[in-house]
Structure 1
């Protein structure tokens, strides 16, 4: 057995999985959801796959959100089932659904609507929003105005600066979107934002949950925020520890500690912040890692097989469990997060979020006994018996 295989076999054996759990903390307003089985980084792409990833999108969102920054003003395309420039007094919950690597926000938006429909009465008052992070190939194909934000194919996933109209981070664009929902003249009844991502969308979301600003501002305004990170290909570590420590100790994979796998060479949005503050804030944020128990294929769905990603584990489920174990060891008393596993589901975003486990997480309901949970270490989670 490899070092990674031994580590994960041990981890799986050691976990206690209580029969039933209740999510004890409030669900946030709109999670960034990568609902479909979105692809991950192009490191693993064949020439045919790369051509598909770099091709222009087939549709562009029909609404625009203004993003005002010191670097200038820009426009972010968004799908939403309410006008974003009109008051929505009936909205009590927002789902922010973040697309995957194909930038097909239309498909993710439609999937978000399906999640709300399947929830029945629990979905009442839920607004679905899907921002779209375009590339220059997209803006050219649709002759979009010069103020439309566009990144590189990989850049938007890691908070890097846009290529047009100015050097605006994709994290800054998400800040603007979340800040929009703090406007009580538009959303007087809003109480929860859930930001959800699957696959590549979850990669963006996990890094944003570490470095983003506006989630805390919403919390201070009385709006609960939760981040639902589902089946990403990799995670952001805070130091040099990895499940496969030889990749770093032996010097064979210097990229394992660089952004977006580590904090070295991080983009300005992240590098301008104190590293210690980033980790302290992150472990206090309400993050749920939703992991498919069958997401164990080390080759499918564009999984990142770079040495930096492989140092985190052989496949997505193993990487997610190892990352949470890493956080628990670093924070034995204050990790306000948890893992929820989804039995019988692999790398399928819609299957994840429409499962009984997924719906319970998204809508803040009691988890069925069939949903294995790995609890965080914060006192409220331990007191709830999670």
Structure 2
């Protein structure tokens, strides 16, 4: 479990909160003028989580708890191609220390909200003309691109996986000129006090040139032979990397590219499909290993994951295995901490259109260590979770 830091009893009114409130008021006023059609939806995810950690010194600790994530969305069709969506999300745990509604333009940590916190994780306006091949979304939104497999993990942009609550603030342009490929271009804002998730230290945004980052991607899910997913992504975070540590003023741009692909083949006549997924990522500029506490010299960045999945191994039952190695200089993933190798098995059961059950068992081990270190850190964890969508 994460160490909790002291919090103030109340959250001050910040400019970012005022901007979100202004967007809600604008949407409501536009909706009233155009006889908006409103709908509600949401999901409740709850389950049992347990973990056991062996530190570098060899000390072992364990923890377990019951955890939940609750989200409720209001969406409106405002007319003339305009749409609005807002969602409230909360992360709850039987081991939480207190409760707080977090309304700041940064997240408290790489996993987003801490246990006991709630926030508005969506508040955006979208312009989507009916006959146009493009749309633009402005405000706070969810942006996630994982492998199309049982685990849906990603080396880069993947908001709110598992029980996490993260988000992206910015502008998102989508363009689909034909039947096959969709292009995504996100200009995101990162607060000087920290990002809204996914981006790990020594990426910081105290430098005025680092507040705006860019994510671009091209994806296709049009089948080509056995291929059912193809995707290339680019991340650019100018002046955000502090290679010698966050206290050192020297900065570099952090630039990273990934390629993702998934292929599928039938297994016999029972309806079972074998699905193979893979992702590869590389970043040319990395921090020093002294900064990452992983040795000496420049950190590596070449990272990858591979997944092996059996879809409909029984009706509505899927089984997946994933193995990945993420270098000490890869700083973009919410699913893979830097300097870890990961092995995971997961079973998923789509009980009904509204209910889904997942069971996961995972191990993560450190890869590179400073000289003289006794043991690589090891984390074992499992969960049993159910998700209800309404």
The two structures have a TM-score, normalised by structure 1, of 0.28
TM-score between both structures, scaled by the size of structure 2: 0.28
Higher helix share: 1
The answer to which structure, 1 or 2, has the higher relative contact order (CA under 8 A, 6+ apart) is 1
More strand by share: 2
